Amino acid sequence: MRRPIRMAVVGMLACTLTAGCGLLPGTTTETCVDWVRFETAQDQFRDAALVLIGRPVGTDGETSIYGYTARVYRVEVESVLKGEPGPAPLRIASTPTTCSRGVSYPDGDPLSRDQRMLIFASKEDGGWFTQTPAQGAVPFPERTPLPFRTG
């Protein structure tokens, strides 16, 4: 009789430690993503599903990706350079940094700036996310030439 109980305890412990299933309600698992670092803006443009010039105009809730909370922003679109953003208002989640012990934006959220930006996005679970935490949204002042070819 001791062996089945011991096996049940070992099974529950293994489940908790390896599969991310917890014994307590609300337990989540975070994934550590090794983000690609694009060598050139042309490489990044080629890889993105959506590239635009726009301005974040406020937050519009939160979502989750890889076990981290991501802020969602409404983006006022000035120009679409690649892709189809869909109907307005455009909502883009700011991809959080992973491997940061539960802190989504340890170096600050790039979309939290109220300024004109060049935004590279990918589609995940039906929603737009910045392509990477570090290179997904960059300031793009007026009269700045594009760092890539669109054609």
Q: Are residues 26 and 73 in the same domain?
A: no
Residue 46 within any structural domain of the chain: yes
Q: Which residues contact 85 (CB under 8 A, 6 or more apart)?
A: 50, 52, 77, 128
Q: Are residues 101 and 66 in the same domain?
A: yes
Q: Are residues 103 and 78 in the same domain?
A: yes
User: Is-above-0.85 flag for pTM?
Assistant: no
Q: Provide the number of structural domains found in the chain.
A: 2
What are the tens digits of pLDDT across the range 93-130?
999 988 877 788 888 999 998 899 999 999 988 899 99
Q: Are residues 100 and 135 in the same domain?
A: yes
Is the pLDDT reported for residue 72 higher than 60?
yes
Of 104, 12, 8, 114, residue with least CA distance to 56: 114
Greater confidence (17 vs 116) lies with 116
Domain span at residue 77 reads: 41-139
Q: Are residues 89 and 120 in the same domain?
A: yes
Q: Are residues 53 and 92 in the same domain?
A: yes
What average pLDDT is seen over the chain?
83
What are the tens digits of pLDDT across the range 38-67?
999 999 999 999 999 999 999 999 999 888
Is the pLDDT reported for residue 26 higher than 90?
no
Residue 55 within any structural domain of the chain: yes
Distance between CA atoms of residues 137 and 7, nearest Å: 50
Q: Are residues 55 and 121 in the same domain?
A: yes
